[in-house]
């Protein structure tokens, strides 16, 4: 991958004057700068593709053919932007109103990212469908989000995803379009591989951006986040994560919710970095990926902290991000930040907010205990802890509302939003987050 570079077309500066590339992670500038509101992730992809077409964007794991029947591909920004434009052109041929919701039932490999960006570029709103849902759960999610279309792939390990969605479509007549990446696309399902080959590219359609996801993966609770709120959440995260243009993000976190999207695809595209994922964990592939001589930001579920502490980690590993989900504990801690390798905790509060902090700098445990001392960014994200321990959030990065079916997506207002979580404090430090 190429090294850091100056902002190019579609590449807005992220961090305000208080931070420089050499600043320690989590040192906390006075402000965070968000890409302009007209930007979407697809336009950020196009901007980097224009300025740095040969920079690596997405990397598939080498064992991908074993669980998907599809080749492992390394995508440059230029190639990814071309395929996104072709897919978007094909999606625009579907008889859908602008700003329609399109479901994505994909495992988090390069197809997931290309499809997400193509839905945006076609002027629609991506809806992330967790692969952990069984057929009944998937049906409930599609119905609750009122999805007229879903994109998937034919198989993911033992799961025949496209066939499962065919059965869902039989039971929900509102689902009018099914499309899948192959091989062996079932009858009645649109082949996205053929679409990518047959369609020409073109300009991206205007659209609202943003996404729909499901609180705690519950199909009964779809949540909408505007494009502006999504970019604000990514900006706040990047102030701590310090991802640089040309870096590699290596993620083991599922890409089916806000936590995965912000720390993965969102962070990569806003920073102009590359994203490599392992949707199916395989120890040899993970070890080989870690050993590649690239500046790497590793994003893993927090449960793997002890395993990493007992492992030999390469010098090219520039940061470790431990992804937590509330409710849960924030310890015990076995990894400590080093001068060249900060340890960053990021906590997801359902689909409402992400709180990130580097250990020994702007630690999330201290921020939750004493929000008034935290290095947060009041215009984008503010945190409040009430006397009973309950947490509330405010700011553009926390704008998320339950999705309203069959009506226009409501406007959000900048007011305190109480959360269902409370901080459990011991020894003047938050050690656990519980449901209030």
DSSP per-residue codes, 249-299: EEE-S-SSSHHHHIIIIIHHHHHT-EEEE-SS--HHHHHHHHHSSS-EEEE
Region 120-132 average pLDDT: 97
| pLDDT single digits (tens) 74-85 | 999 999 999 999
What's the pTM? 0.91
Tell me: cis bond preceding 327? Omega within 30 of 0 counts: yes
Residues 240 and 321 sit within 8 Å (Cβ to Cβ): no
Residue 31: band (very low, low, confident or very high) from pLDDT cuts 50, 70, 90? very low
Give Rg (Cα) of the chain. 20
Summary mean pLDDT of the chain: 89
Q: Is the pLDDT of residue 311 over 70?
A: yes
Q: What is the pLDDT of residues 168-196, one digit of tens each?
A: 999 999 999 999 998 999 999 999 999 99
Q: Residue 145: which pLDDT band, with cuts at 50, 70 and 90? A: very high
Calculate mean pLDDT across residues 287-314.
Answer: 94
Task: For residue 19, name the pLDDT band (cuts at 50, 70, 90).
Answer: very low
> Looking up tokens 């208080």, which residue turns up?
18
User: Which helix or strand (DSSP H or E) is residue 319 part of?
Assistant: strand 317-325
Selection from 291, 338, 325, 296 nearest residue 311 by Cα: 291
Q: What is the pLDDT of residues 245-267, one digit of tens each?
A: 999 999 999 999 999 999 999 99
9 pLDDT band (50/70/90 cuts)? very low
323-333 pLDDT, tens digit per residue, is: 999 999 998 89
Beta-bridge partners for 58 = 75, 275
At residue 29, does pLDDT exceed 80?
no
Using 50, 70 and 90 to split pLDDT, how confident is the model at 336?
confident
Instruction: Report the Cα 147 to chain-centroid distance in Å.
Output: 20
Which residue's entry shows tokens 């226009």?
408
| The pLDDT value given to residue 33 | 62
Please determine, for residue 322, whether its predicted confidence score (pLDDT) is greater than 50.
yes
Average pLDDT in the 96-125 region?
97
pLDDT of 317 > 70? The answer is: yes
Name all domains of the chain by residue range, CATH numbers in brackets: 41-214 (3.40.50.980), 227-435 (3.40.50.12780)
Q: How confident is the model at residue 14 (pLDDT cuts 50, 70, 90)?
A: very low
**Residue 101, H or E segment:** strand 101-105
pLDDT tens profile 353-393: 999 999 988 899 989 998 887 766 667 999 999 989 999 99
Alpha carbon separation from 292 to 72, 242, 334, 360 (Å, rounded): 17, 20, 25, 28
Query: Is the per-residue pLDDT at 1 higher than 70?
Result: no
């Amino acid at each position: 991958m190429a090294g850091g570079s100056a902002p190019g077309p579609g590449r807005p500066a992220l961090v305000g004057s208080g931070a420089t590339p050499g600043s320690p992670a989590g040192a906390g500038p006075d402000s965070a700068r968000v890409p302009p509101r007209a930007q979407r992730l697809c336009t950020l992809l196009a901007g980097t593709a224009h300025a740095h077409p040969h920079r690596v964007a997405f990397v598939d794991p080498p064992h991908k053919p074993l669980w998907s029947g599809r080749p492992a591909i390394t995508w440059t920004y230029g190639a990814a932007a071309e395929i996104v434009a072709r897919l978007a052109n094909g999606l625009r041929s579907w008889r859908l109103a602008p700003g329609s919701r399109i479901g994505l039932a994909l495992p988090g490999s390069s197809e997931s990212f290309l499809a997400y960006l193509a839905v945006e570029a076609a002027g629609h709103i991506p809806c992330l469908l967790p692969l952990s849902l069984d057929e009944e759960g998937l049906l409930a999610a599609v119905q609750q989000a009122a999805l007229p279309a879903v994109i998937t792939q034919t198989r993911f390990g033992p799961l025949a995803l496209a066939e499962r969605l065919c059965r869902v479509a039989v039971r929900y007549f509102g689902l009018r379009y099914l499309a899948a990446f192959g091989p062996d696309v079932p009858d009645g399902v649109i082949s996205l591989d053929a679409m990518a080959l047959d369609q020409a590219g073109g300009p991206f359609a205007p659209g609202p951006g943003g996404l729909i996801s499901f609180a705690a993966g519950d199909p009964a609770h779809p949540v909408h986040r505007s494009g502006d709120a999504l970019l604000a959440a990514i900006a706040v995260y990047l102030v701590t994560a310090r991802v640089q243009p040309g870096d590699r993000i290596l993620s083991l976190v599922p890409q089916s919710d806000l936590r995965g999207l912000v720390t993965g695809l969102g962070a990569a595209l806003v920073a102009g970095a590359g994203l490599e994922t392992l949707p199916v964990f395989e120890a040899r592939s993970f070890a080989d990926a870690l050993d590649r001589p690239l500046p790497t930001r590793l994003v893993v579920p927090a449960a793997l902290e002890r395993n990493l502490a007992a492992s030999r980690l390469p010098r090219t590993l520039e940061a470790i991000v431990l992804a937590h989900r509330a409710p849960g504990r924030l310890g015990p801690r076995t990894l400590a930040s080093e001068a060249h390798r900060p340890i960053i905790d990021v906590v997801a509060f359902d689909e409402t907010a992400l709180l990130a902090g580097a250990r020994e700098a702007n630690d999330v445990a201290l921020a939750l205990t004493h929000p008034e001392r935290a290095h947060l960014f009041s215009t984008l994200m503010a945190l409040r802890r009430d006397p009973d321990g309950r947490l509330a959030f405010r700011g553009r990065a926390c704008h998320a509302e339950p999705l309203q079916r069959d009506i226009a997506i409501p406007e959000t207002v900048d007011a305190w939003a109480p959360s269902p979580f409370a901080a459990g404090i011991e020894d003047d430090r938050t050690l656990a987050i519980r449901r209030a």
